[in-house]
Amino acid sequence: MGELYFKTKGLTVGYNGKPLIRDIEFGVERGEILTLIGPNGSGKSTILKSVTRQLKTIAGTVYLGEKDLQTIPLKEMAKQMSVVLTERMKPELMSCRDIVATGRHPYTGSLGILSKEDEAIVQESMESVHVLDLQNRDFNAISDGQRQRVLLARALCQQPEIILLDEPTSFLDIRHKLELLTLLRRLTKERGIAVIMSLHEIDLAQKVSDKVMCVKGDTIARYGTPETVFLEDVIRDLYEIENGSYDPLFGSIEMAAPAGDPEIFVLSNCGTGISVYRHLQMKGRAFAAGILSPDDMDYAVARHLASEVVETAPFEPFSKESIERAMQLVNSCRVVIDAGLTIGSTNEAMREILAEAERLGKLKRGKHHELR
Amino acid sequence: MMEKKIQSDAYDVLKRSLRYETVFVLLIIAFCVITVLNINIGSVPISVKEIARIIFLQEGDPTQMKIVWNIRLPRIITAAVLGGGLSLSGFLLQTFFNNPIAGPFVLGISSGAKLTVALTMIYALQMTGKVSSLTLVLAAFVGAMISTGFILAVSSKLRNMSALLVAGIMIGYICSAITDFVVTFAEESDIVNLHNWSLGSFSGMDWNSVKMACIIVGIASVLAFLLSKSIGAYQLGENYARSMGVNVKLFRTALILLSSVLSATVTAFAGPISFVGIAVPHLMKRALNSSKPLVVIPACFLGGGVFCMFCDLIARTAFAPSELNISTVTSIFGAPVVIAIMIRRQKEKQ
């Protein structure tokens, strides 16, 4: 563990002296990314505003390096910390280069005239986030994705030790989200810059963060490494997910399983069932899935979408119980779907189940688009 | 490829500074031409050759010397300096409210100053028979600050920019109504002066007033120029400015004080003058194709001076011997610019 570069102790934040969130304690090392997640209006922005002195803190201390942030002159703070905010700025007649160059503000003389060295840093900052080709474009005339990158270049140009970003991926499409987060990842590793940001995309947060903090209610719901935070129940509680579920393995979100007893039994393995599950879920048909072992990717999805999953142990022939249960389902369900089974030496028993379904005239084969 | 890119960037930088230079050179030429025209044209035309002799050698026809030194020159300098101050005041207010149609006139600041100046004039004339220009400036400043205070109070409640402008225009109407009321009922012979003044005019300035106006506007403008760097940061928004190390509270106070001093001074000497504060900064920014305060502030000052001298020339000569009040002329040229800004903004939104 390295030394914490930025940390809070017993921090309480809120508006107009009214505490909103209490006892916030977190810290980041150089080169680390800390992500704040939580539902809308939970106070992620309030925390970010408070630790950047946009908002007065109510109690507790924020440390930048060894020093209490409150005691550092604003200009000194500006040399160590820069921000990318959510507010839409609408500068008049400013090129992207002008915007980036404002990052030199804490370093220039009393009239703010850029030196050769400043210009070089502006150039380098724009190059490192790939916006040099935009430099003469009007800032108001570029796309959202480009705008965020220009603002990141501006933040870099301030040569900070830490950058705080408030929902930097809002308004961006998936390609630009990935691009921006990849850039942040690279910058933290290459330059040892610490990053604190808030994100809505929990799937991406899981993949880019060194640490995650869950903000909900009047305290910090959870704080730690992604492995300790991105658990099914933690995320469900955090966002109060009732109509669906969160899969911690892939960071994906699944819709809720259709209610009721299964009327369709889907037989599949090796991922062939997933599209059938999704189709049935969309149509609101309750279904059972099987016979799956936890190592099958069908299992990961069936778990969330099927009313019942017939389970068996991995790398073993099907258990007796699982075959029995499958037979019962073949009998009780209206339709049995073979979504594209691969049958080998450990799942020979599947042939019997298929034969039974065939005998009852319930078997259908193929993908959902061939099914009714 | 890369080399070509760098070359084109260097070319862009060059193009930009060339543009700045062109604008300033044109402004200076316009300034000189209009100055000469202003001295030259009038009920007594004075040739350029005579003007040069009168100003630089201090010799010539005594009547002409009197006209140049006591009437035309003070008036030109007043128009130039006050016009510059007014336009700069507009730029500062636009920065403060982050609104391109903010200005001392539309926000009611000029009218507030007008009210207190009128009251002071009447009171002082009744008591002592005369008022010093410093007293008037102070009175105007008080009035400007009261109006500004109102506007600030309203702006903390209304985040909507057009609502803010409506509030400012209403404050302006209230102040004007009270001023008219007071002027109507003050039965003094000097009220004629007051009436003329309350419509706005650069006429009747003596050298002492000119000096005073130059000193106050000069100091305030230099201070505003020294704020360039912070203004540049503030253009990105309050929060970004703070994150770059600007003491926002102090900066906002300085901004509002300076713009009030400027518009108060103008109002004290020349009465309320409309639209200069909006039109000139806008035209300058477009001409420079930049909002960098480092170039926009001097350009606003120079442009405001040129604009007011030009309007004053028209006010004096269009229907000579009767004079138009200055706001009549500035409105004709300024109001269309405001409409153009609003249409442009609407287009940008879509």
**pLDDT tens per residue across span B119-172:** 888 888 777 767 777 888 889 999 999 999 988 888 877 767 778 888 888 999
Select A4-247's CATH number: 1.10.3720.10, 3.40.50.300, 3.40.640.10, 3.90.1150.10: 3.40.50.300
Q: Which chain A residues are within 8 Å of B236, Cβ to Cβ?
A: 89, 91, 99, 102
The residue-averaged pLDDT of A45-67 equals 93
Asked if B289's CB is within 8 angstroms of A93's CB, the reply is: yes
Asked if A74's CB is within 8 angstroms of B242's CB, the reply is: yes
ipTM for this model:
0.85
Residue B2 predicted with pLDDT over 60? no
Residue A125 predicted with pLDDT over 80? yes
DSSP state string for B44-78:
S---HHHHHIIIII--S-HHHHHIIIIIIHHHHHH
C-alpha torsion sign, points B216, B217, B221, B222: negative
Residue B191 predicted with pLDDT over 70? no
The residue-averaged pLDDT of A31-36 equals 95
Look at residue B45 in the predicted model and tell me its pLDDT. 85
Nearest CA in chain A to B249: A54
Residue A225 predicted with pLDDT over 70? yes
Residue B11 lies in a domain: no
Q: Which chain B residues are within 8 Å of A89, Cβ to Cβ?
A: 236-237, 240
Tell me the shortest Cα–Cα distance from B294 to chain A, in angstroms.
Answer: 8
Look at residue B6 in the predicted model and tell me its pLDDT. 54
What total number of domains does chain B contain?
1
The residue-averaged pLDDT of B10-35 equals 90
Phi, psi (rounded to 5 degrees) for A184: -60, -45
Nearest CA in chain B to A111: B229
Residue A97 predicted with pLDDT over 70? yes
| Nearest residue to A11 (alpha-carbon basis) of A53, A40, A42, A41 | A53
**pLDDT tens per residue across span A84-95:** 998 888 888 899
Residue A318 predicted with pLDDT over 60? yes
Distance, in Å, from the CA atom of B30 to the CA atom of A10, rounded to the nearest integer, reads: 64
The band of B350, judged by pLDDT with boundaries at 50, 70 and 90, is low
Look at residue B51 in the predicted model and tell me its pLDDT. 86
**pLDDT tens per residue across span B65-109:** 888 888 889 999 999 999 999 999 999 999 998 888 888 988 999
Residue B30 lies in a domain: no
Asked if B244's CB is within 8 angstroms of A106's CB, the reply is: yes
Q: How many CB atoms lie within 10 A of CB B30?
A: 17
Q: Exposed/middle/buried for B39, CB within 10 Å: 0-12, 13-18, 19+?
A: buried
Distance, in Å, from the CA atom of B94 to the CA atom of B72, rounded to the nearest integer, reads: 33
> What is the residue extent of each domain of chain A?
4-247, 257-370
Angle formed at CA A202 by CA A197 and CA A203, multiple of 5 degrees: 120
Look at residue B1 in the predicted model and tell me its pLDDT. 44
The band of A195, judged by pLDDT with boundaries at 50, 70 and 90, is very high
Query: What is the overall mean pLDDT for chain A?
Result: 91
The residue-averaged pLDDT of B288-305 equals 95
Number of CB pairs, chain A paired with chain B, less than 8 A apart: 80
Look at residue A307 in the predicted model and tell me its pLDDT. 93
Q: Do domains A4-247 and A257-370 have the same CATH topology?
A: yes
Residue B74 lies in a domain: no
Q: Which chain A residues are within 8 Å of B289, Cβ to Cβ?
A: 93
Nearest CA in chain B to A93: B290
Percent of chain A with pLDDT over 90: 73
Residue B49 lies in a domain: no
Query: What is the overall mean pLDDT for chain B?
Result: 87
Asked if B290 is an interface residue toward chain A (Cβ–Cβ < 8 A), one would say yes
CATH assignment at residue B248 = 1.10.3470.10
The residue-averaged pLDDT of A165-174 equals 91
Residue B33 predicted with pLDDT over 90? yes
Which of A82, A83, A92 lies at the smallest CB-CB distance from B291? A92
Confirm if A333 and A282 have CB atoms less than 8 A apart: no
| Nearest residue to A50 (alpha-carbon basis) of A196, A169, A208 | A196
Please tell me whether residue B186 adopts helix, strand or coil conformation. Answer: coil
Where in the sequence is the domain holding B156, given as residue range(s)?
86-349
Token readout for A280 is 């049935």
The CA R_g of chain A, rounded to the nearest whole Å, is: 27
Dihedral angle over CA of B247, B249, B253, B259, nearest 10: 70
Q: Which fold has domain A257-370?
A: Rossmann fold (3.40.50)
H or E, element range at A153: helix A144-157
Look at residue B189 in the predicted model and tell me its pLDDT. 61
